[in-house]
Amino acid sequence: MTFKILRGVLKMALEAAKDMHPHEFVALLGGKGELINELVFLPFQSGSVSAIIHMDMLPIGMRVLGTIHSHPSPNATPSQEDLQMFARFGKVHIIVAYPYGEDDWKCYDRSGQPTEIEVVEGSSEERF
Active site residues: 24
- Report whether 23 contacts 51 (CB < 8 A): yes
Q: Hey, what amino acid is at 42?
A: L
Cα Rg, the chain, nearest whole Å: 13
Element (H, E) at 109: strand 105-109
CA distances, 50 to each of 40, 47, 61, 62, 119 (Å): 18, 5, 27, 24, 26
